[in-house]
Structure 1
Amino acid sequence: MSLKNLSISLYFFVTLFIALSHAARFDITNNCPYTVWAAAVPGGGRQLNPQESWPLDVNAGTTGGRVWARTGCNFDGSGRGNCQTGDCGGLLQCQAYGVPPNTLAEFGLNQFQNLDFFDMSLVDGFNVPMDFSPTSNGCTRGIRCTADINWAVPQ
């Protein structure tokens, strides 16, 4: 199943458009009623007020890609600061993965048998509801996590 378009809604929504070369465009949209600071590796980060979007181009062959939302952030004019959840080294433009808790969308492009893969993970905790759904190439079944379910997992 090769995906040509994909989306993530973090009530914060990320849409991924994959071209024939399997390069991709994520359209990350904040559908939360509060500001989030979108983060991606590769990609960096950006403040998103409610209903704002961030188009993010990702290269073909990307492995270990992640998209997440940070909350409760404060950054100065040089892009340095911190976030209450999902912080990535105190930088607006993330260069490393975020510190838990953060709801994650993970992806790999043009991988095994030239397929694209995506999943959602709460292994690093939960901080915002998220939806990640394909939007093209016949694949329309996505994944959604609307609440913190970690409390229900036996320790």
Structure 2
Amino acid sequence: MKPFKNLSISFYCFVNTLIFIALLAHAARFDIKNNCNITTWAAAMPGGGRQINPGGTWILEVRPNSARGSGYGVAPHTLAEFTLGQFENLDFYDISLVYGFNVPMVFNPTSLKCTGIDCTGDLNGNCPTVLKAPAGCNNPCTVFKTKEYCNAGSADCKATNYSMFLKGGCPAQFGPELCLVVVGRITQVKPGPSNLGLTQQMGGCRIWARIGCSFNVSVHGSCQTSDCGGFLQCQTYGAPPNTLAEYSLRQSHQNIYFYDIFLVDGFNVPIAFSPTSNGCTRGIRCTTDINGQCPTKLRTPRKYYKYPCTVFKTNEYCCNRGSCGSTNFSKIFKNLCPDAYSYPMDDATSTFMCNSGTNYEIVFCP
């Protein structure tokens, strides 16, 4: 049998109900333990429900073809959801407040270095009066039943004051998360190094960070910067602004890689791009607080730097990627980050090279 992954879900009734999940190669086993000092009635779909006395355990076996799991009781309830064996054999999990909130919850993988999520804010105690339920805090759709709050399946569905209250009570555990992006691939980056294997046959690559991302179990969502059309796996380049690390294998020089930091699509996070092998030692950096020094005209609502072409849309700022030169704006950013491309024709001082087979380190916020 292949090694299995472990996850744990904890319900905090301000006393604990623990659910330990072991995801085996062919099935998922849920060890559901009630550490509350009162009897609880755990529910699962698939799986049904069971009365669990204090200190008791319910072992729930989920068949391998039960690809998705969550609870479907009457709202309000805090949901732990999972989808097993999706693309690239990944499992997806989340905590959902779309049906309201009744108990705080923690959902933790306990192996393979995956990271847990939690919703432990006192939402019941701070619930707006109009949303209060006898044992929880309702989702606005349950109360108002209007499209403004019930349009969950539509791309036009927007955050509201009530959804922001729920999100504020349970923010992301790590604040704005970074997602390391290569077109067609993505890795969520937590503290510490992550390895990315790329082949010579790829010819070239762009790597950037998406910030403030949130995806559902259907792997759709959005990011504050560099969003890839709402998809977890990028198939195209992210929307500006983003700080880009680029490398390419020039066909006329089969054993030479060219690498650079590119600010032509704007800037969202500081970056360092360094060779780490093969005798190549010229690292490049853009670590100045460009967002803090960005001219007002080029700032996004979240105060990230946008490239002038994105704002002004004229050939003066190289919008046609043809013949163009440096501008007052590009000079500002070249002074702040001398190693980086500040406009598309900035090759002479912004392109660096190493021999084929060199390894590299890319650091966000060095």
1:79 aligned residue: 219
**Match for 1:93 among 222, 225, 233?**
233
* Cα deviation, residue 102, structure 1: 0.5
1:49 aligned residue: 190
Secondary structure of residue in 2 paired with 1:57: coil
Runs of at least 4 residues of structure 1 off by over 3 A?
149-153
1:116 aligned residue: 257
1:154 aligns with 2:294: no
Secondary structure of residue in 2 paired with 1:118: strand
* Number of residue pairs matched by the alignment: 122
Query: Structure 2 CA distance, aligned partners of 1:110 and 1:61?
Result: 12
Q: Which has the higher contact order (CA 8 A, sep 6+)?
A: 1
Structure 1 portions without partners, runs of 5+: 1-32
Secondary structure of residue in 2 paired with 1:61: helix
Q: Decide which structure has greater strand share.
A: 1
Contact 1:67–1:105 (CA under 8 A) maintained in structure 2: yes
**Match for 1:136 among 265, 277, 294?**
277
Structure 2 portions without partners, runs of 5+: 1-174, 296-326, 330-366
Whichever residue aligns with residue 129 of structure 1, its letter is P
Contact 1:65–1:106 (CA under 8 A) maintained in structure 2: yes
Deviations 1:62-119 (A, max 9, x none): 2341000000111112221110101111111111111111000011136331111110
Secondary structure of residue in 2 paired with 1:46: strand
Residue correspondence of structure 1 range 3-18 to structure 2 within 5 A:
none
Query: Which structure would you say has the larger Rg?
Result: 2
Whichever residue aligns with residue 229 of structure 2, its letter is G
Taking structure 1 as the reference length, the TM-score comes to 0.69
Contact 1:102–1:126 (CA under 8 A) maintained in structure 2: yes
2:201 aligned residue: 61
Taking structure 2 as the reference length, the TM-score comes to 0.31
Whichever residue aligns with residue 39 of structure 1, its letter is V
Secondary structure of residue in 2 paired with 1:86: coil
Aligned CA distance change for structure 1 residues 52 and 76 (closer, same or farther; 3 Å): farther
